[in-house]
Structure 1
Amino acid sequence: MSSERKDEHVRLAEQLRDERRPNGFDDVSFVHHSFNGLRLDDVDTSTEVVGARWAHPFYINAMTGGSAMTGRLNAGLATAAAAAGVAIASGSVSPALRDATLADTFTVIRDHAPDAFVFANVSAEMTVEQAQTAVDLLDANALQIHVNPAQELVMPEGDRDFRGWLDRIEQITAALDVPVVVKEVGFGLSRASILALIDRGVRTVDVSGTGGTNFIDIENQRRERSEYRYLAGWGQSSVDCLLDARLGGDPVDAQLLASGGVRTPLDVVRALALGASAVGVSGHFLHVLIDSGVDALTAELVAWTHQVRTILTLLGAASVADLAHTQVLVTGASREFSELRGIDVSSLARRS
């Protein structure tokens, strides 16, 4: 059943893929200046994530695993990640923790990307022992714990009891000897949620907002009556989450990663300029792999590395850190969200 569900998730993610969905990033633009004083080759696109230095500020985010077909996808994703020099996260390792015969659908990631920075991924339902097993299985550099109450509630066979999630996250974070990142699955981490995680010892979060793969839509398609279609727009974008975390009060004391609806290298730079240290991409890269193969995905990843450097040069940012000084214009629904939350986004337009 678990393997069939994983295959169905991939099929529905492709079937329901819609790059016209609002993702928040289109509300973000930059003030253009003509004299940037930089040379393209001198621009440094590296970034630090959970204490590790990455050459590139984007990564292949958590997607799949748990069946023969998704194991082949993980092998392709890892092969491309290794060739392009980007980090990669596995999908939830939970199926392999329940059925050891599924382990090789995840271990293929390390097999095909022996030198990559790899995140293992588990749900907030896992114990410390299970989380450690997931890390060991992938020889992972860090662990993602995904939180997905919206998905679980619509999933026909999903969890209905979310008591103890913060307790388990705290226990895993304290016990593991690798960094832990807590991420949403596409509905956004609110400021209050981030602060609750910080109180439990978490120091890095992936806000993972709306605009990309929509697990309410996916799980609703798996229901007999598809009765939850009205929840399709639930949640906040990553742009909203980043603004709320940085400007909605005192800046939160956590490293922020962003994902959800990231479609272009410009979206990556937009998120970095709003305070993310790195940006995860799932649906777009999976679609390229499924539609065109490993070589095409590798070429896409390499192209993104060049394009991110180009955009930084255009903005006069010699490094990712310099993006904190770019003048950002926030309009549309993201501005309306900010106004309702009491966030002064006009200050971003006056940075120097």
Structure 2
Amino acid sequence: MTSDRKLEHLLLCANCDVEYREKTTGFEDIELIHKAIPELNKEKIDISAEIFGKKMDAPLIISAITGGHPASLSINRDLAKAADNQNIGMGVGSQRAAVENPELIPTYSVVRENAPSAVIIGNIGAPQIEYAKAAAEMIDADALAIHLNPLQESIQPEGDIDARGYIESIKKTVEIVDMPVIAKETGAGISKTDAIALQEAGVAAIDVAGSGGTSWAAVETYRAKDEYLGNLYWNWGIPTAASTVEVCESVEVPVISSGGIRTGLEAAKAIALGAEVVGMALPLLKDAYISQETIIKRIEQFKESLKVAMFLVGANNIKELRKCDLVIRGKTGEWLRERGFNTKKYAQRSFKK
């Protein structure tokens, strides 16, 4: 049943090797241009960001992690308390389990109870339009994410492999819920073509959730009787850095960059490529099994490392960070050039015309 699967996913992510093995996010190919004369005071740097009408103290969202099993309640509670303490955003895992079984609602509603003013994002699957209103109301959400996970469904033993009608379902969800709708991948990235289709469908934001972090093909490999498909597609997807450029250059809606982002430096690179904010999941899940204090410590480290990156490129705030110079090298540069993107413009943004 759905609830039992939720517990399996939690335990596998917390205790097993579920990250990409032969593939990275691509952020190692993104080189921010150092400024020897930054002309600013690091202590005065403003790393706050706004999304869906709410201001956060840092451009960070705890990406959709869990809910739907009694064991997930304490995890979501501690993550929510940390999000509230640090004034950042938080998403919950797929809410289908609680819509189908109201006894599980507390495993999700605990988030808003412990983060009353934070940006909170609900979560349903693309085919689950009938769950949209209930999911959003369950946690008094600020936005609703529609997750896209064809890779996971392909490997999952009980996966739903009929993806017909996704765009129409998203359009209808946008129409029936009175809040922003986010299209969110789950670790395999979003391309330019799909981003344009999603914007045309009416979504208010896109979370690229690219490859390089948690591989849901890997997670499902541990659950499958035959490991062949999971191992074959373990490293499938669009690397996060490349996906961030593909989406940011193709749509006008805000873009959330997630998928293997672990530090404020990587976040700075994602934002410099055009993202509004970033998401992080797996490290914070593992921290939640230790303590709330451990979660907060990682968020504080994220904030400080982001400030250092901004200091070193001379950016007083997130708006200025988006305009800083950078070089796209290696496989990411090759990917983007082959896909028709002009990578040179990122390296020359500060040049006088």
TM-score with structure 1 setting the length: 0.95
TM-fit CA distance, 1:206: 0.4
**Aligned-pair identity (%):** 31
Q: Which shows bigger deviation, 68-77 or 181-190? A: 68-77
| Aligned match of 1:314 | 312
Structure 1 range deviating more: 18-27 or 161-170: 18-27
Find the counterpart in structure 1 of residue 182 from structure 2: 181
Contact 1:28 1:329 in 2 (8 A): yes
Q: Which consecutive unaligned segments of at least 5 residues does structure 2 have?
A: none
Kept after mapping to 1: 8 A contact 2:264/2:302? yes
1:216 Cα shift? Answer: 0.7
2:12 alignment partner in structure 1: 12
CA distances 1:271-326 after superposition (whole Å, capped 9, x unpaired): 00000000000011112222x31111112212322322222122101111111221
**Cα distance, 1:204 vs. partner?**
0.8
Q: Structure 1's 282 and 195: CA in aligned 2 closer, same or farther, altered over 3 A?
A: same
- In structure 2, the residue matched to 1:329 is 327
What letter corresponds to residue 130 of structure 1 in structure 2? Y
Q: Post-superposition, which runs of at least 4 consecutive aligned residues in structure 1 deviate over 6 A?
A: none
- Structure 1 position 263 matched with structure 2 position 265: no
Closer/same/farther in 2, CA of residues 194 and 7 from structure 1, 3 Å limit = same
SS at match of 1:167: helix
Most deviating of 11-20 and 27-36: 11-20
1:231-263 deviations in whole A, cap 9, x for unaligned? 11111012111222345xxx4222111100011
The answer to whether the aligner puts 1:300 opposite 2:298 as a matched pair is yes
Separation of aligned partners in 1, 2:20 and 2:315:
28
Aligned pair 1:118/2:120, yes or no?
yes
State the secondary structure of the residue aligned to 2:90: strand
Could you tell me how far apart the structure 1 residues matched to 2:302 and 2:224 are?
37
C-alpha displacement of 1:166: 0.9
Aligned to 1:66: 68
* From 341, 344, 347, the counterpart of 1:346: 344
Kindly provide the amino acid, as one letter, of the partner of residue 56 in structure 2. W
Question: What residue number does 1:193 align with?
Answer: 194
Partner of 2:153: 152
Q: Distance in 1 between matches of 2:322 and 2:252?
A: 17
| Contact 1:122/1:144 (8 A) holds in 2 | yes
Q: Distance in 2 between matches of 1:131 and 1:303?
A: 35
- Give, as a single letter, the amino acid of the residue that structure 2 aligns with 1:244: E
Q: Does the aligned pair in 2 maintain the 1:117–1:141 contact within 8 Å?
A: yes
Q: Is the 8 A contact 1:203 1:253 kept in 2?
A: no
Match of residue 91, structure 2, among 78, 86, 89: 89
Partner secondary structure for residue 235 of structure 1: coil
How many residues align? The count is 347
1:19 Cα offset (Å): 7.9
Q: SS of the residue aligned with 2:71?
A: helix
CA-atom RMSD in angstroms: 1.5
Show CA shifts across 1:125-160 (max 9, x none): 212x42111111101111111011111111110102
Q: Which amino acid aligns with 2:323?
A: H
Post-superposition Cα deviations, 1:58-102, rounded to whole Å, max 9, x if no partner, equal 110101111111122111111111111111111111110111111
Q: Partner letter of residue 304 of structure 1?
A: F
Correspondence 1:86-235 to 2 at 5 A: 86-127=88-129, 129-228=130-229, 229-235=231-237
> Would the aligned equivalents of 1:50 and 1:204 in 2 still touch at CA under 8 Å?
no
Counterpart code for 2:179: V
Letter in 2 for 1:192: T
CA distance in 2, matches of 1:178, 1:209: 25
Equivalent position of 2:252 in the other structure: 253
Question: For the Cα contact (< 8 Å) 1:78–1:112, is it kept in 2?
Answer: yes
CA positional deviation for 1:17:
4.1
Q: Is the 8 A contact 1:144 1:182 kept in 2?
A: yes
1:51 aligns with 2:79: no
Q: Distance in 2 between matches of 1:43 and 1:310?
A: 9
Aligned to 1:287: 286
Structure 1 gap segments, 5+ residues each? none
The Cα shift of 1:330 comes to 1.2
* Cα separation, partners in 2 of 1:231 and 1:17, compared to 1, 3 Å: closer
- In the aligned structure 2, how far is the partner of 1:72 from the partner of 1:54? 24
Tell me how far 1:351 sits from its aligned partner: 1.5
CA distance in structure 1 between the aligned counterparts of 2:54 and 2:197, rounded to whole angstroms: 25
Distance in 1 (alpha carbons) for counterparts of 2:335 and 2:301: 33
